[in-house]
Each structure stands twice: as C-alpha cells, then as structure tokens.
Amino acid sequence: MQVNILLGLILDIIFIAIAKAYFRRKRPVANTDDALGQMGPDIFSFPSGHASRAVFVAYFFTRLHPLPLICFPPMLAWTTAICLSRVLMNRHYILDVLGGILLGLLEGILMDLIWIEKSAAISLMSYISDEKLDGGEYHV
C-alpha cells in the first residue's frame, strides 16, 4: 500500500508540474498583497496541486485501499476543506480547483490500472533500499 500511494503522489507532482508549465495561468490578483502567499515553488495557478493531492488521497483510501466506513466522512470533509480553502485564500480560481479535482480522480483511476502487488512492492523496496529480504544470500 505504501509503495502505491508513494508512486501516486510522485505521479501527482509530475503531472501538476507539467500542467502548470503548459498552462501558465497566473494566480488571482487578490493574492499579490499576501507576503506569505508569494512564497512557494511556483507562481502559476492551474491546476491546484493541493486539490489534486487531497482528492487522490481520498480516492486511494476509499476505492483502492479502503479504510473502515467510519473514516469516510472525516476524510471527505478534509478533502472538501482543502479544496474550498484554496479558493477562499485567493490562491486559486474555482476552475483551478476543479481542474485539480479532476486530475486527482484521473490519477486514482491510473493507480487502479497500474497497482503494484505486494510481492513486487517488496522486491522494489528491497532493490531501492539497503534492506534485504529474509532468507536472501545477504541477510544478516
């Protein structure tokens, strides 16, 4: 599960960076007086990376790796709060957030198609990290 959500979040960062570089939509004018609002890695607005990551995480934990039903309302409230806060803080236009929501949903569907099974995830993590699998020739 951890490998799949990490892969999904990395894909989200890549897709957001490509989309912002392509569309190059400036942030709302009301955002220019905010000294803290001007800090950050980019100056472009479309699509909202916060919204896409929040929707992807909600999709992941409701469809791909479901949590207990009691966790759904707080998670959906959190996702809604993230999306609304981007507009209320004048960091994004409404269409930027809607674009982020759509992108997050598409990323969730993509992760459903390329889901990495447990054995492949363990093998991948042992290849990337210094940890070796139990029973391997390098196991200490």
Catalytic residue among 27, 50, 53, 91: 50
Query: Is residue 116, in this structure, part of any structural domain at all?
Result: yes
Q: Does 139 qualify as catalytic in the annotation?
A: no
50 catalytically annotated: yes
Which pTM does this prediction carry? 0.81
Q: Which domain holds residue 27?
A: 2-128
Q: Is residue 58 part of a domain?
A: yes
Confidence check: pLDDT of 83 > 90: yes
Residue 136 has pLDDT above 90, yes or no: no
Is 134 contained in some domain? no
Give 36: exposed, middle or buried? Use CB within 10 Å, 0-12, 13-18, 19+: exposed
What is the per-residue pLDDT across 42-78, written as a single tens digit (0 to 9) for each? 778 889 889 999 999 999 999 888 889 999 999 999 9
CA 130, CA 76: separation in Å to the nearest integer?
Answer: 37
Q: Determine what percent of the chain is predicted with pLDDT higher than 90.
A: 46
Catalytic residue among 53, 86, 91, 92: 92
| C-alpha triplet 27, 74, 103: angle, nearest 5° | 40
Count how many domains the chain has. 1
Q: Does residue 135 form part of some domain?
A: no
Torsion of CA 60, 66, 72, 75, to 10 degrees: -30
